[in-house]
Structure 1
Amino acid sequence: HVGTHIDGLSHVSHEGKLFGGVDAYEAQGADGFKTLGIDTMTPFVGRGVLLDIARLHGVATLPAGYGITADDLSRAEKAQGISVQAGDSVLIGSGWSRRWNERDAFIGLTDGVPGVDTSGAEWIASRKVKIAAGETIAFEQITAGAGHSLLPVHRILLVEYGIHIMETLKLDELLDANVSEFIFVVSPLRVVGATGAPVRPLAILP
């Protein structure tokens, strides 16, 4: 879980259960997870949709700790004239990758990072997407001083709906070019039994 990577469905449990009610303890073995490891994820080649929430608010980068709501996502769809469909991958543009070289600020150790809140997570889940991706190390909203001990959006997407989360994408070039739609290619490193893996996602433009 470093650099640009994708979370497997074994990454997070809730009350001892993984996605589909799988017992998290029983799913583990000496060589990692026997089920729901990142090696079980089918590579994705399909439609990617980038929702530019920073542009929606008239800024290049959302402020640290900002929570991206369901209303933000719906308004971005309307503003960009696009609709997230079942089977898509949805990428959330916060502009945070413009702070890529700011080290502690990028990680959000003190001030947090912008990201999807729980209402936004439910909105994403309602669209039945395959992958939800963002520019920060957490994907979801981290408020100032909160740290990463509680990640409710991970619970909603990974455990409740089986939607993979991809983090730390560098989207600034796509955002600068006002790109909303593309062919998206995601093929994670096949690490057997792992809870996640590095990935080099590709956005293929016309």
Structure 2
Amino acid sequence: MNVNEATGTTTATWLDTALGSGVRVFDLGRPLYRGMPQSPNHPPYWHTLPRRHGDMVRADGGSAAADHISLGTHVGTHIDAFSHVSHNGLMFGGVRADEAQRGGSMSSLGAETILPMFKRGVLLDVPRALGLTRCEPGYEITPDDLAHTARSQGTEVRQGDVVLIRSGWGEHFHAGAEVYTGHDSGVPGVGENGAYWLAGLDVHAAGADTIAFERLAPGQGHSLLPAHRVLLVEKGVHIIETMDLEELATAGVHEFLFVLSPLKLVGATGSPVRPLAVVPGANS
């Protein structure tokens, strides 16, 4: 509250007004822990405790513990920078990959160039719209599926939105890496046509509850990633992967304020993130 010095009265700030009825926050990020599911293409998450309580004790009896962590920038919930993927040697905007990566980091299109997101977010709950619990392994979510989901939810996808696609595969996250990464079974997701559908609506970013955002064919792993090419290289749409969309879907929330802030990792091809969906109402 602000106090008017002349009258002694208080007036509500814009923040007081905005939060007057409270907000509910959905955490869309996955926990990071040793042994968590991840793509085999990236260094795993590792956590150690090199400084433990009691290793050093201050004169007043105080002590502190401190950690060391390491992980690939595409492990856990993360966002892809435009430097993550190239096609025929070129990245987004025609930047030459061989020149940008000289010196051991990306001189162009690195993670530090990804601006924080404070955007309208949309959840497209595809299996629910199709009358399913989850999409089948290796199922390609088509433009018709995406359009049908938006219509059935009464949710309009607008220019500049962040669109999150639930396949239901996120339910497998705690079943272990082999199940969640789905190399043998395949993983559901959008393909090339679905990526063009999203880009045609001029969305700002797209995310999913799967390891690689897009459809992975059974037994093929990450051998072909056409949606990455379309979104990251051709159209300039960021990709967010390994999201937790289950609570949001269970609550039936399809429109929200989407908040995401990448780490300023200079020259990196991606960044770990903890995205949030914010809606009016009290947190449970």
| CA drift at 1:31 | 4.5
1:106 maps to what in 2? 180
Match of 1:120 among 194, 198, 208: 194
**CA displacement, residues 58-112 of structure 1 (integer Å, 9 cap, x when unaligned):** 1121111010000001101110111111111000011111111111111112101
What SS class does the counterpart of residue 164 from structure 2 fall into?
strand
Q: Which amino acid aligns with 1:68?
A: I
- State percent identity of aligned pairs: 53
Instruction: Give distance in 2, aligned partners of 1:31 and 1:14.
Output: 19
Aligned counterpart for 2:267 among listed residues 184, 189, 193: 193
Residue matched to 2:141: 68
- Specify the alignment match of 1:46 in structure 2: 119
* Rounded Cα–Cα distance in structure 1 between residues aligned with 2:217 and 2:252: 28
Q: CA RMSD in A?
A: 0.8
SS at match of 1:98: helix
Confirm or deny that 1:202 pairs with 2:276.
yes
Instruction: Verify the 8 A CA contact 1:4 1:167 in the aligned structure 2.
Output: yes
Return the alpha-carbon distance in structure 2 between the equivalents of residues 109 and 67 of structure 1: 15
1:27 deviates by: 1.1
Give 2:212's aligned residue: 138
Are the equivalent residues in 2 in contact too, given 1:6–1:199 (CA < 8 A)?
Answer: yes
**Residue aligned with 2:206, SS:** strand
Shift of 1:29: 2.8
Question: Normalization by structure 1: what TM-score?
Answer: 0.98
Q: Is 1:177 the equivalent of 2:260? A: no
Q: Distance in 2 between matches of 1:84 and 1:178?
A: 16
Structure 1: where are the runs of 5+ without partners? Answer: none
For 1:78 and 1:156, locate their aligned partners in 2 and report how far apart those are by CA, in whole Å: 24
1:46 positional shift: 1.0
Aligned residues: 206
